[in-house]
Amino acid sequence: MGTSYSSCSHSTTTVSTHSLLLTHPKSSAFKQSRFPNPDFKFHSTHQIPQTHLRIMSQKPSQVLGGKVEVGETQEGVSKRPMIDFHGIDEGLVEKMVYDALVWSSLHGLVVGDKSVQRSGKVPGVGMVHAPFALFPMPFPESHWKQAYELSPIFNELVDRVSLDAKFLQDSLSRTKKVDAFTSRLLDIHSKMIEINKKEDIRLGLHRSDYMLDEETKQLLQIEMNTISSSFPGLGCLVSDLHRSLLNHYGEYLGLDSRRVPNNPAATRFVEALAKAWTEYNNPRSVILFVVQPEERNMYDQHWLSALLKERHNVSTLRKTLAEIDSEGKLRSDGTLVVGGQEVAIVYFRAGYTPIDYPSESEWRARFLMEQSSAIKCPSISYHLVGTKKIQQELAKPNVLERFLNDKEDIAKLRKCFAGLWSLDDSDIVKKAIESPGLFVMKPQREGGGNNIYGDDVREALVQLQKEGSEADAAYILMQRIFPTVSYTFLMREGVCYRDDTISELGVYGAYLRNKDKVILNDQCGYLMRTKVSSSDEGGVAAGFAVLDSLYLT
């Protein structure tokens, strides 16, 4: 697969550099990563007397005169190419940080600032740069290509599974008894079965997330996201940012900007939405973005809205579930109308977590949209396919064969499956209690911050055993993946941190089908997220990680 160098809808600009200063009453060194309450701030030179910034590492290392040391790490018997930033020139980092912050501001790599009360409701108020890594993360090109090749297979699998209503209901039947949120989703699904609701036009905008296990060198899937696959808008901007920085500083770093691959996530998602809108076949209809009342990640969504209008002349509408309940109605032919406008596509960027349904109003809105003839992205069945329990069921022997015919495709999927188990497997529960650090305990939740790690796994499992109820059906156990730890620089709220980190690769995919005709089935770019290695959780919006890009090795 070739590498190209233009990702998003705008051209990149290299901004002139200025010196950055770091001040603190006790030290001028980089602060160890403590994202929530940083003490240090960068200031420009005309504001304070000049103070030299020093990059401090865990081990003494020689400054390499502006060059990054590229080499091999060795942990036990395993080796992997990496880039060692311990010896990077301090003045170079100052300039790159300043340029990166300016670039982010000029190019819309922004989110709402949580310290500004209105930032989640009013565009243009209280903006701050999205959290990002200063350098792209080294990643083997072969595994990047593998993840891209898997995307169309997973897209097809989601569609096939979504059509098997009995499989979905049976697989989630125990979960339904103990998980109120999944139960409500299944109730809506059951009602659609009762009224024989057919989704002739099916649109999926997915993201499959992976980690590269250091010991086995295997690319292992963490989860499949079928609803609100976030950051296609901002993720491709980080790739552009890193190419811009390497175009300007790559000679000093010994890095080649051409090794940062093209990331067309925003344009590919928009093309899929526009194709689906065309299939709906009403040029006066709109695409409805279902959003949260307080949405600080609104600019990631606005990138898609802007591109839809500019490139395809498709208008969009943003509404919360409560607003849809108040303003929405169904015509006799099933047409969905919200705020007086006919809706062609319902694109969910909310509705994936219980907190999105604080009252019956939100559930009424969800049911209203599911009954309609609008294209749902995702439909209730696509949504259910993305649950952790279905992921675990699909990993069982002979289950994939129920949905896919191609043996090579099945083998490719199985190769990337991590260990997944139900909590009714007493042997694996015993192993998890004995060695909790080798497992992750996952509930049926999306959005980051929900998983259970370490000794908490043991405590949770022991407690469930004591209770002796069916509450264990709300969880699955998953093999814990241990990726390579890399030392890098992280930017959050204008502050540069450096720490040991691990990364997670997500590959976007789009699937569009009209009855028996598959119109689109392809990968749509990627999302790279990097977090400090001491953190268990990894969501960017939840505050655990930063956006990153790939440097192919």
> Is-catalytic flag, 388?
yes
- Is there a binding annotation on residue 105? no
Does 513 belong to an annotated binding site? no
Q: Annotated catalytic, 493?
A: no
Q: 400 φ, ψ to 5°?
A: -60, -35
C-alpha span between 23 and 337 (Å, rounded): 56
297 annotated as ligand-binding: yes
Q: Judge whether 450 is annotated as a binding position.
A: yes
223 is catalytic: yes
**Contact 39/492 with Cβ under 8 angstroms?**
no
Check the annotation: does 458 bind a ligand: no
Q: Cis omega (within 30 of 0) on the bond before 378?
A: yes
The residue annotated as part of the active site, out of 155, 230, 263, 503, is 230
366 is in an annotated binding site: no
**Active-site residue among 112, 318, 446, 486?**
446
- Asked if 120 is an active-site residue, the reply is no
351 in a labelled binding site: yes
The reply to whether 313 sits in an annotated binding site is no
**Does 194 participate in catalysis according to the annotation?**
no
Q: Three-state SS for 207?
A: strand
**391 assigned ligand-binding residue:** no
Full DSSP string of 488-513: EEEEETTEEEEEEEEEEEEEEEEEEE
Catalytic entry in 225, 239, 305, 549 = 225
In angstroms, the Cα distances linking 540 to 229, 263, 281, 523 are: 12, 18, 36, 22
66 annotated to bind ligand: no
Alpha-carbon distance values, 9 to 83, 298, 303, 480 (Å): 30, 17, 9, 38
Please indicate if the annotation marks 370 as binding a ligand.
no
447 annotated to bind ligand: yes
Does 445 belong to an annotated binding site? Answer: yes
Residue 360 known to be catalytic:
no
User: Would you say 537 is a known binding-site residue?
Assistant: yes
Q: Is 62 within any annotated ligand binding site?
A: no
Catalytic residue among 176, 389, 458, 529: 529
> Going by C-beta distance under 8 Å and a sequence separation of 6 or more, which residues neighbour residue 6?
262
Has 529 been labeled as part of a binding site? yes
The tokens for 2 are: 């070739």
Q: Which of 318, 389, 442, 492 is catalytic?
A: 442
Q: Which residue in 94, 214, 223, 279 is the catalytic one? A: 223
Question: What CA–CA distance (Å, rounded) separates 455 from 450?
Answer: 15
Residue pair 205/377 in contact (Cβ under 8 Å)? The answer is yes
Active site residue 442: yes
Farthest-apart Cα atoms in the chain, separation: 74
- Separation of CA 348 from chain center: 15
Distance, in Å, from the CA atom of 349 to the CA atom of 475, rounded to the nearest integer, reads 24
Residues 6+ apart with CB under 8 A from 17: 95, 98, 99
Q: Is 296 annotated as a binding residue?
A: yes
Give Cβ neighbours of residue 45 (< 8 Å, ≥ 6 apart). 18, 19, 21
User: Is 279 marked as binding a ligand?
Assistant: no
Q: What are phi and psi of 353, to 5 degrees?
A: -140, 150
Residue 97 to residue 512: CA distance in whole angstroms: 41
Was 448 annotated as part of a binding site?
yes
Of the residues 419, 447, 494, 543, only one is catalytic, namely 447
The answer to whether 282 is a known ligand-binding residue is no
Is 350 a known ligand-binding residue?
A: yes
Q: Is 114 annotated as a binding residue?
A: no
Tally of CB atoms within 10 A around 513? 21
Please state, in angstroms and rounded to a whole number, the distance separating the CA atoms of residues 245 and 308.
Answer: 28
- Of the CA atoms within 13 Å of residue 137, those in its CB half-sphere come to 31
Is 540 annotated as contributing to ligand binding?
yes
Identity at 181, one-letter amino acid code: F
Q: Which of 95, 176, 202, 207 is catalytic?
A: 207
- The catalytic position among 388, 389, 458, 492 is 388
| 442 marked ligand binding residue | yes
CA-to-CA distance for 415 and 407, rounded, in angstroms?
12
| 401 catalytically annotated | no
CA 446 to chain centre: 10
534 annotated among ligand-binding-site residues? no
| 470 token code pair | 């069916």
400: helix, strand or coil: helix
**Residue 225 is a catalytic residue:** yes
For residues 475 and 175, give the distance between their C-alpha atoms in angstroms, rounded to a whole number.
8
Binding residues for Mg(2+), as ranges, are 223, 225, 446
Q: Which residue numbers are catalytic?
A: 207, 223, 225, 230, 388, 442, 446-447, 529
Binding residues for ATP, as ranges, are 223, 388, 442-451, 453, 478-481, 504, 531, 537
Binding residues for substrate, as ranges, are 207, 227-230, 295-297, 301, 349-352, 529, 540-541
Binding residues, as ranges, are 207, 223, 225, 227-230, 295-297, 301, 349-352, 388, 442-451, 453, 478-481, 504, 529, 531, 537, 540-541
